[in-house]
Structure 1
């Protein structure tokens, strides 16, 4: 039953996330599909966490991927709060520290415990560690948080969608298992860079207008 719920929520996240990506940002349909994506993806990730610790189904790999996905979704959605200066960062710091610890375990667990190298876990661990450490640094720069809230929101939410697409690609074996874990991330990474550059240009234009 849990596996079915996990797949159902994942499917909803995949579709709603796609709509949210292609429609004009900030419009009602973007906000509604974005919220649907957020909650469905979060439920999918949480069910994965539960499944991974059930007796007879213990799976550290699935658990770490569940934490990884949850981190991007939670922090991406919570970045919307940074538009204002009235917010408490306690929960955000806890989420980021959980990701830091999980990322370190993702990198070190297999080499230390199983004497094996798991490239997927290492790469995902490095990505999770770099993002979460950057978060912790930014939390000490509230002015920058307010300035870059949209970049953080888009970057993290797209990261969450990459997780959904990756799961879909891997489960359905569109590519060999190894490549399936990385191709969505590479493509999605370029998409994130595109949006960050676009937002940077808008910021430069607005600053220039203000100076005039």
Structure 2
């Protein structure tokens, strides 16, 4: 029965409308929840709860995006949304896991997810090339890059991780939020702009989140990297003698 409705449902059907409503609600919640850890106090219970809400919301966003892509006729924009949703979820999940485990090396239990994500990324690259959907193939390549690296590190067992867990958490969660924000802007930009708006504004909508977000992530990483370096190189305070 599922095969009979693949790529065939119009947007007016109850199923599609319900999935789209859930997708929009989860995406809106993710964008709001993601602001709390970025702007609020780091490491506290509010930070942790908001981060958990963000990751779970991105899971719903990715799942509904995949279902909407499978149930409706294929379009380049739908492929783009699916690719960016899957990428955003994977980055958020791995960044969240790094903070929970206090380790930059993926746990063996994460190997299944990273392997599946790598295969999904490869499939996206193949479909993107076949359908000339460059963006879909691009996001598939990014998934392969991150998930493939995680798979390799997990398979190496006790090998040293490429970065401290805090930096992995910052870069992955930041990259996820950039991806989600880009999707939100690109989808809604046409509704916000007046008729006859110059085309370069659409290009700006694509580029601005990545440029600004990358600058902020780089500054944050430098700040925490300096703190970690100082903490590791600072001389230990001499023990106070009991005779003094």
**Under a length normalisation based on structure 1, what TM-score does the superposition of the two structures give?**
0.81
The structure with more helix, counted as a fraction of residues:
1
| SS of aligned partner of 1:24 | coil
Q: How does 1:39-54 map to 2 (within 5 A)?
A: 39-54=56-71
Partner of 1:29 in structure 2? Answer: 46
Alignment of 1:14-163 (within 5 A): 14-54=31-71, 56=73, 59-83=78-102, 88-90=107-109, 92-111=110-129, 113-114=130-131, 116=132, 118=134, 120-139=135-154, 140=156, 142=158, 144-145=160-161, 148-163=164-179
RMSD: 2.9
Check the 8 A contact 1:99/1:132 in 2, yes or no: yes
**Distance in 2 of aligned mates of 1:84 and 1:109:** 34
CA positional deviation for 1:55: 5.1
1:6, 1:47 within 8 Å by CA — same for their partners in 2?
yes
Is the contact made by 1:10 and 1:41 (CA closer than 8 Å) also made in structure 2? yes
Q: How high is the TM-score relative to the length of structure 2?
A: 0.72
**Among 223, 227, 231, which residue is 1:198 paired with?**
223
Partner of 2:12: none
Instruction: Report SS of the residue matched to 1:192.
Output: helix
SS across alignment from 1:25: coil
**Distance (whole Å) between structure 2 residues aligned to residue 57 and residue 167 of structure 1:** 18
Q: Would the alpha carbon gap of residues 110 and 160 (structure 1) be closer, same or farther in structure 2, given more than 3 Å must change?
A: closer
- Classify the secondary structure of the residue corresponding to 2:66: helix
The aligned residue for residue 186 of structure 2 is 170
Q: Distance in 1 between matches of 2:161 and 2:100?
A: 10
> Quick check: which has more Rg, 1 or 2?
2
The question of whether the paired residues in 1 share the 8 Å contact of 2:34 and 2:54 is answered with yes
Change (3 A) 1:188 1:141: farther
Conservation of the 8 A alpha-carbon contact between 2:103 and 2:165: no
Identify which range, 122-131 or 36-45, moves more after superposition: 122-131
Q: Tell me by how many angstroms 1:206 deviates.
A: 1.1
Match of 1:183 in 2: 208
How big is the shift at 1:165?
A: 0.8
Deviations 1:33-62 (A, max 9, x none): 222222222212221122111254685444
